[in-house]
Amino acid sequence: MTDKPALSLDFKGLLCPMPVVKIAMAMKQVKVGQTVEAVATDPGVMADIPAWARTSGNELVELEKREKDIRFVVKRAK
Amino acid sequence: MIEKKNKMTLVVLSGDMDKVMAAYIIANGAAAAGMEVIMFFTFWGLKAIQRGNLTGKSIFGRMLGVMNRGGVDAIGPSRLNMGGMGRWMFKLMMKMHGVTPLNELREAAIALGVHLIPCQMSMDVMEISCSDLIPEAEEPVGVAVMLEHANESSIQYFI
């Protein structure tokens, strides 16, 4: 299990590129090692958030497609 | 040999709504992933960083200012604009689907530290002054500065 996220965000209804933009802005608000949790509805998030994590060097902790939305958790790595 | 940085340079020549939108989306994605992003606006592309007021000093410059109104709210799509109807329809459809409008995309890019750099020569020719541009636009430069950025970048796009 991971620690409780430092931030919990709602990206429902947001389309490309805003989920990636908002998660990048959220990374600046937390300390290195802390996590941010977000819920989105854009199906593009399933591919885009892992790609963003690889390029930005942050860690994707969780990514799950749920019945009505997608939940993910990322950890600030640097 | 210059070392490539984690950097992207975009040359924005087009002033069409769809192409400017693509440019700002790519810039946002790259900046969000931690890249340094340079957007170099030339010719029609200047409209994407204009405030939207009427421009020009000479008769030709003022005519151009009327027929080629700048600002992200005034620009239309490259196809199917149909005298502004296409612009209205696309804006409405994008709103219906929850797509972030151009002005907000530009604000997000600015918040992520994207550099908005105008082309000096285009500004001279089209009689657009620095006061016609949004305050976030940086000092106008020429091709050599753009190429220096592009040379250091691992990604370069021309839109």
Q: Which fold has domain A7-75?
A: Translation Initiation Factor IF3 (3.30.110)
Residue B79 has pLDDT above 90, yes or no: yes
Does B24 score more than 70 pLDDT? Answer: yes
When scoring A10, A14, A21 by the number of chain B Cβ atoms within 10 A, the one with the most, hence best to mutate, is A21
Residue B75 has pLDDT above 70, yes or no: yes
Q: Superfamily assignment of B5-158 in CATH?
A: DsrEFH-like (3.40.1260.10)
Catalytic residue at A54? Answer: no
pLDDT of residue B2: 76
- C-alpha distances (whole Å) from A26 to each of A21, B31, B108, B153 are 9, 13, 13, 26
Q: What is the ipTM of this complex?
A: 0.84
Mean pLDDT score across all residues of chain B:
95
Output the pLDDT for position B136. 98
Determine what percent of chain B is predicted with pLDDT higher than 90. Answer: 96
Q: Using CA atoms, how far apart are residues B45 and B112, in angstroms rounded to an integer?
A: 20
Summarised one tens digit per residue, pLDDT across range B92-119 is 999 999 999 999 999 999 999 999 999 9
In the prediction, which pLDDT does B1 show?
67
User: pLDDT tens for residues A5-63?
Assistant: 999 999 999 999 999 999 999 999 999 999 999 999 999 999 999 999 999 999 999 99
Domain boundaries, chain A: 7-75
Contact between A23 and A36 under an 8 Å Cβ cutoff? The reply is yes
Catalytic residue among A15, A16, A21, A32: A16
The rounded radius of gyration (Å) of the Cα atoms in chain B is 16
